[in-house]
Amino acid sequence: KGQRPLAAEQIGEGNIPHLKNLQSDYDHLAEQLDRRGVDAAAVLKKVSGFTVAIPSWGTGRGGTRFAKFPIAGEPTNIHEKLQDCAVIQQLCAITPRVSPHFPWDKVSDYVALREEADDLGLGFDAVNSNTFQDQPGQAHTYANGSLSSTDAGARALAVEHNIECIEIGRQIGSRDLTVWVGDGTNFPGQQDLGKQLDRYLDSAAQIYSALPDGWRMLLEHKMFEPAFYSTVISDWGSSILAAQELGPKAKCLVDLGHHAPNVNIEQIVARLHRFGKLGGFHFNDSKYGDDDLDSGSINPHQLFLVFNELIEAELEPRNGFDPAYMIDQSHNVTDPIESILSSAEAIAQCYTKALLVDRGALHEAQRTNDTMMAFQVLRRAYSVDVGPIIAMARVNAGGAYDPIGAYRQSEWRLRKAQERRSVGLGAGIV
């Protein structure tokens, strides 16, 4: 059904020379795992069901606050972004949903947009609202904040925009609204920190009350930027307090790049789950701040430890376990399709390694306070090269053995460079 951007036969043919080696690598790994009491087929099955959403904005070269360096053939609207997402999904087969951002992805007919995505083999994930920049002709500025602004008009506009995002989401088949606001201050004394949070909570409650049944509101915290002295929802503490105040449909979303350096994010994950408030993730990596680098490019071990907590959470669901997994990255130095393929692979790797952890041995070591053995259990899983399992899952699902190699061979970007409007200097996607 539908028209896929790449020829499926070409992907299949490209895999043929690798199939024999893949099978032998997989069999070898399965035998090794079997010796440890791990059933590779069961892991393969779990991995085959794993998915992560693509951010629509990640298909463009986001750039930095200093400059954008767009590449020829970059998508210029949601239709072209969906095509690029479909290419990614065809090649890696674990990214079947797109997380859109409004008004960046605004169109006049969302029912048609949903059909367009469906034809490309895609669905939609969480809808992201944007009250961190003014739109042309906007009646009230967000210069002094949005949901927490002192200006009632700006607050009302921000609430209205979020409710509109819910309505769009309903039409395109989403069930989550992700709310990140840049609201905060740059100077001590600029605002009353308590009252600013009161205003945020009041506005957020209005959005919350517009959530349809089965919907969730995901509150995304971030330590700083664009506000550099204080941020209204700066950390997981503020996030969970706000989510608890709002009600059961409000959950917390953890963007891996939104914490102070060295913060123990896996512990945050465990905490949020403990209180039934773990709503979702924005996967990326960072070295200094909200760098939005490719997942696993800086600290893959941290990503593994996060997934280790997620598997623990899944095994002990308490009040449920249903986090929305999304990538959130966008930068300036690679072809975004290649970067998302690379991130999807890194995320799948860490998930797979976490599945390999011998839970029985880990829990026993924890019970007996055998610290070294507990650590060794994690290390043993982390050091396995799980590539053959992931490649097997991908190839079985019709994806490419070597996604980036197949992408280059398809010359997709080159072809789009001839067809798509040039984004030119400074006209990149925000």
Q: Which two tokens stand for residue 113?
A: 């947009």
The site for Mn ion (CB under 5 A) is made up of 255, 282, 290, 328
When CB distances to ligand PSV are compared, the closest residue is 180
* Residue 145, phi then psi, degrees to nearest 5: 105, 170
| Residue 309 contacts which entry, ligand PSV, Mn ion, none (Cβ below 5-8 A, type-dependent) | none
Q: What's the CA gap between 274 and 252, in Å, rounded?
A: 12
Task: Single out the residue of 337, 297, 333 nearest to residue 63, CA to CA.
Answer: 333
**Nearest CB to ligand PSV, comparing residues 222 and 259:** 222
The CB-of-410 to ligand PSV minimum distance in angstroms stands at: 28
The CB-of-12 to Mn ion minimum distance in angstroms stands at: 35
The CB-of-401 to ligand PSV minimum distance in angstroms stands at: 32
| Binding status of residue 222 toward ligand PSV by CB under 6 A | yes
The CB-of-389 to ligand PSV minimum distance in angstroms stands at: 30
Q: What's the CA gap between 145 and 131, in Å, rounded?
A: 8
Tokens 């360096």 locate to 69
| Residue 128 contacts which entry, ligand PSV, Mn ion, none (Cβ below 5-8 A, type-dependent) | ligand PSV
CB 219 within 8 A of CB 243: yes
Q: What's the CA gap between 164 and 220, in Å, rounded?
A: 19
CB 159 within 8 A of CB 140: no
The CB-of-125 to ligand PSV minimum distance in angstroms stands at: 13
| Binding status of residue 80 toward ligand PSV by CB under 6 A | no
Fill in the per-residue mask, 230 to 269: x = in contact with ligand PSV (CB under 6 A), - = not in contact. -------------------------x--------------
Fill in the per-residue mask, 263 to 302: x = in contact with ligand PSV (CB under 6 A), - = not in contact. -------------------x-------x------------
| Binding status of residue 180 toward ligand PSV by CB under 6 A | yes
Q: What SS3 state is found at 13?
A: helix
The CB-of-56 to Mn ion minimum distance in angstroms stands at: 13
Q: Which two tokens stand for residue 1?
A: 């059904």
Q: What's the CA gap between 55 and 430, in Å, rounded?
A: 13
DSSP-derived secondary structure for 228-244: SSEETT-SHHHHHHHHH
The residue type found at 373 is M
**Nearest CB to ligand PSV, comparing residues 132 and 321:** 132
Radius of gyration, CA atoms only, the chain? 22
**Rule CB under 6 A: which residues touch ligand PSV?**
57, 128, 180, 220, 222, 255, 282, 290, 328
